[in-house]
Chain A
């Protein structure tokens, strides 16, 4: 039997200086920095540790050295398989790009009987059919849908109030399914609706074809109705009734709700969350207000700034964490999506946090008139006479003209986060995104000056807030690990 060697005998790292792998650092709080590698894995360090590591002065076999080596911030004389693994992880984060557009939004009509001040779409009266999508437009749009190489295709119907053009929804669903017999994709359908006009005919059709419903629920009755006025002032009551009826017909998990944050919401986050719990939802998505459409026109957006929204967000998140630690499972979806990028090697399909930007390559919009937009926000801008992100029209342009035109490629290239000032040296870049539409709308160019960007401020504070909470509590860390793998 040969002699057994000691562990130190196998550790060649003291024999030569270590070499840093690509990494970045950004301030977390007064005492520490966040360091990230190319795959978005993070380590916390003090400022002196940052300098020590960067200077080559970090000693082998110390806890920080071991952590940096384990997480692929350095290689040394002992091992270099980190290169293979980092390449694999980078590839994993980027691979979903090859799937191209997964979410296809059909604007079936601009008609709507609500008059929400934050609405991102121009309203039109109830009997104006010229704001409805035609079957011819739908067919041409479907041509483009099936040109996407994505295995999974989700068709989402929006508006106005999409159900006001139910015949067109039926037409698209049936035609898409017919084409899919040959195409063999994973097809999914969602109807975004305020549920106020949901009738049995629509419910039966949705049931037959496994269509999901997504509705707006802004909070308790008074808040919801204040945000979402309609004739009769009963938006909330109709929404609740619609949720109940839709769940009964389609199944509990077939109905989802999204909230929109307004100035009125900012002081009521717990009430809003309680309302979602009261209505038996398992999660909430605490969304920021986007500065488009009617929000901009009515100066609604200027009525609050990012720090107020951040207070709102973290008050809500902390409340939800408290509920979870007390044994009640409830997810905050925005955090879950961000955590997936932070804590796993996987990528999310959340369009707002993609780099290259999610415009057209994550989601695309076919408007009622055949105009193709790079995103819902692009459509909002067009309603305000800014057609920067209009990519063409289904009646006039082929797939290649739309997808390879400058209107799309210029903002994608210009805004790519790994290349632009501010982002290219930011430790949070692997978790963040590029939003050329937002920066164009707020600052006038695709890139924006990031220190002046509400998108940047908001995201950085969310990253910091999530990390601080994980560092402060192992229970929160475990909760976040679960969330990161649910979405």
Chain B
């Protein structure tokens, strides 16, 4: 396990249940309040949460990250399952003529 976990709140996500992509998106979404360092191994994605500014209250940091990861995991799942329709609709949108003026 690489990364300095000293002084950080450490949260683990099992790789079987969550994708690295979901964890990265969650870290991105929380960057205004938390710095999240992402590491881990084949079984676990390990996040080390630190405050982004000295004034940030860390009381809900773990909960916030867990919720964010779950939400993003769901979003990725929705994106994957609906992407054929997204392509079909965009394809239809660019192939038809007329009806541009509402």
Contact = CB atoms under 8 A, between A and B. Distances in A.
Given A451-B28, A451-B30, A20 B82 contact: yes
A86 B25 CA distance: 28
A92 interface: yes
Nearest to A20: B82
Interface stretch (A22-30, A125-133, A321-329): A22-30
Interface string B10-25: 0000000000000001
A19 interface: yes
Nearest to B88: A83
Contact of A422 (B29, B74, B100): B29
Given A38-B89, A83-B92, A84-B92, A23 B78 contact: yes
A167 interface: no
Interface in B86-100: 86, 88-94, 96, 99-100
Interface in A398-442: 421-422, 425
A90 interface: yes
Contacts of B71: 25
A23 B79 CA distance: 8
A54 B74 contact: yes
A187 to B, nearest CB: 20
A118 B30 CA distance: 33
B89 A90 contact: yes
Interface in A96-135: none
Contact of A87 (B74, B81, B96): B96
A54 B100 contact: no
Contacts of A19: 85
A87 B95 CA distance: 9
A451 B26 CA distance: 11
Contacts, number: 75
Contacts of A95: 100
Contacts of B99: 88, 91-92
Interface residues of A, number: 29
A38 B85 CA distance: 11
A487 B40 CA distance: 53
Contact of A21 (B82, B93, B100): B82
Contacts of A451: 28-32
A23 B85 CA distance: 11
B89 A425 contact: no
Contacts of A22: 79, 82-83, 85-86, 89
A116 B93 CA distance: 47
A478 interface: no
B89 A346 contact: no
Nearest to B24: A421
Nearest to A346: B102
Given A20-B78, A425-B72, A92 B89 contact: no
Nearest to B92: A87
B77 interface: yes
B75 interface: yes
A174 interface: no
A476 interface: no
A220 interface: no
**B25, B83, B92: residue with the most chain A Cβ atoms closer than 10 Å:** B92
Closest 6 CB pairs of A and B: A87-B92, A91-B93, A451-B32, A90-B93, A22-B82, A87-B93
Given A345-B102, A421-B28, 11 more contacts: A20-B82, A22-B86, A23-B82, A24-B75, A51-B74, A83-B85, A88-B93, A90-B93, A346-B102, A425-B75, A449-B28
Interface of B: 25, 28-32, 71-72, 74-75, 77-79, 81-83, 85-86, 88-94, 96, 99-100, 102
